[in-house]
Chain A
Amino acid sequence: MSNAPAIEVVGLSKRFGDVVALDGVNLAVEPGTVYGLLGPNGAGKTTTVRVLTTIIRPDTGRARVLGLDVVDQAQQVRASIGLAGQYAAVDEQLTGRENLELVGQLTHQPRAQVRLRAVELLERFGLTDAADRPLKTFSGGMRRRLDLAASLVHRPPVLFLDEPTTGLDPKSRNDLWDLIRELVNEGTTLLLTTQYLEEADVLADRIAVIDRGMVIADGTAAELKAQMGATVLEVSFADAAAAHGAVATVGAVSPGAEVEGTTVRAPVVDGARTAMEVLRALDAAGLEVAGLTIREPSLDDVFLQLTGRRAEETTNGEAAPDLAPAGGPR
């Protein structure tokens, strides 16, 4: 029984009118682990979370949380999950404390416990001083922290975070990452969606890459990176013709080199050494280099590797279901 996944998704599909939001998603999340759902806008991340949190029903397929069916046993699922996300689902007019106590009451916790829990969470999330101010006076980072706190009031064993740091400044993002890590250390099972490979890398034990409503790759961060090289080498040239002239030379040193515009890009394992070799080869061939970058792969690189196209392309016309903050088409 302890081997049963905390979250299990089989063949999940959902359409909104003509738009296919989910097209047979399969997932399994082990208890006490962090699962990262990585993909661009409109890939189906939010729709997956909305099905798993019982907000919408899937058209076909099955999803279980802690062994409970999200459609047939929705009410029991709701008692065991927390949801926080990019839309900061909190009441702007209410204070931080009032927001938390409201969620406490609506999750049917005993009154006295609700009050204590609110105090405890405000303290833990560094919001004690702002506790009795309406949320409309909060900064973006404070609002996200309160949103996360609100999802924890009833101590749910399974937590869903939908793009928890989208739109936050780096400092707030790091603060939130620390808080999320703490939660995970306490044994919470977490499903996290993100557009940032870095975020999935930092927080998640396993990552699924989702595109056009389907999981197109899944594994540990290390496995995904190994599949595409640990780093990306980019050599830029004065013009596209020069780049085309150099791609063979770069490719001889570092297989998989491709031209994009004035840049030759190659996934590499040992960034610094390969860069040296590439530069020597280019110099020997008498080719002039305008710039050179070695960087961590981004979601874009993962996408390019997995699908042969850039991540942004998928947003065309498919963004609507994921972007709608509430209710979808009503």
Chain B
Amino acid sequence: MTVTPTAATQHDGSTLSWAVKDTLALAKRNLLHYTRVPQLLVFTFVQPIMFVLLFRYVFGGTIQVPNVTYVDYLMPGIFGQIVVFGATATAIGLAEDMGSGIIERFRSLPMVRMSVLAGRTGADIVRNLGVVAVMMIVGIAVGFRPHGGVPGILAGCLLVLAFAFALSWIMALVGLKVANAEAAQAVSFPLLFPLTFASAAFVPVNSMPGWLQVFAAHQPVTVVVNAARGLMLGPDVASNLEKFGVFNTSTGGYVLQSVAWIVVILAVFVPLSVRQFNKN
């Protein structure tokens, strides 16, 4: 009896390169779902457009932000809101996979196991990239005029996407812990709703009651949205926002805080999710 020199021997060479290949194969699989289930796309694109229109034209008239048009203030917040709400998809997708037999098959294959999680969060980066790009166009169509220049706008988008990636790993843990897709949604929503709305995404934090400001000013969505806002709208607008108390620190300060949040979230939730996935 001999051990067949198939994948077993190939595998020992470079686990990292296999991890990347497996992750890409699974990310592609997850993205194909968007082309097969149109409802997923509707949920992904239509809902943020509704939010833009709602805040731009319905609520926007009553929200005053000093020295900046509301649509300029709003759009970076919308990008934040999109990726926070969108993170639910990570939890739902993983919970669905766990509930179907396909994870059993994956676990019996000589693939790098962590790729199941990385393939999911990786696919979500691509989805977020698509949605942020579309919403940028929608924003410009409704009057968004950022003055941060192309580098500032791209840096703002990049920061939002990096934050989205970190959130995906929190939601991956949620998806692995709950029993099914409905439960994933039920758990995610109460977690993400206050993070989105008790933040600087739609209104300045200094317009909120003092007790709420304590939370709203320091939570990660506010920090990331204000960093993206400062980067996209440019230094002149940012310094005005700081002068009027809308920002409590400079753009640079927000960027540093954002990076810190992203690093800490990844450092905590990547290992937790991987451990949960490997646990039987």
Contacts and interface: CB of A to CB of B under 8 A. Distances in A.
B127 interface: no
A291 interface: no
B8 A79 contact: yes
B3 interface: yes
Contacts, number: 130
A93 B104 contact: no
Interface string A27-67: 00001000000000000000000100111110000000011
A119 interface: no
Given A1-B1, A54-B108, A326-B99, A109 B280 contact: no
Most chain A beta-carbon contacts within 10 A, residue among B3, B25, B98, B106: B3
Interface in B17-67: 18, 21-22, 25-26, 29, 32-33, 36-37
Contacts of A85: 101, 104
Contacts of B10: 108
B177 interface: yes
B112 to A, nearest CB: 9
Interface string B96-112: 00111111111111110
A94 B29 contact: yes
A50 B101 CA distance: 12
Given A55-B108, A56-B280, A80 B22 contact: no
A99 B68 CA distance: 52
B71 to A, nearest CB: 38
A31 B2 CA distance: 11
A327 B29 CA distance: 21
B105 A105 contact: no
Given A90-B102, A325-B100, A326-B99, A66 B3 contact: yes
B22 A327 contact: no
A19 to B, nearest CB: 14
B98 A327 contact: yes
A6 B1 CA distance: 8
B104 A107 contact: no
26 contacts: A54-B108, A67-B1, A68-B3, A75-B8, A76-B3, A79-B4, A79-B6, A80-B4, A80-B6, A91-B102, A93-B32, A93-B37, A94-B29, A94-B36, A102-B26, A105-B25, A106-B111, A107-B6, A107-B109, A107-B110, A107-B111, A108-B7, A108-B10, A108-B11, A155-B6, A330-B98
Interface of B: 1, 3-4, 6-8, 10-11, 18, 21-22, 25-26, 29, 32-33, 36-37, 98-111, 115, 176-177, 276, 279-280
Given A55-B107, A78-B108, A89-B105, 5 more contacts: A80-B4, A105-B22, A106-B115, A107-B7, A325-B99
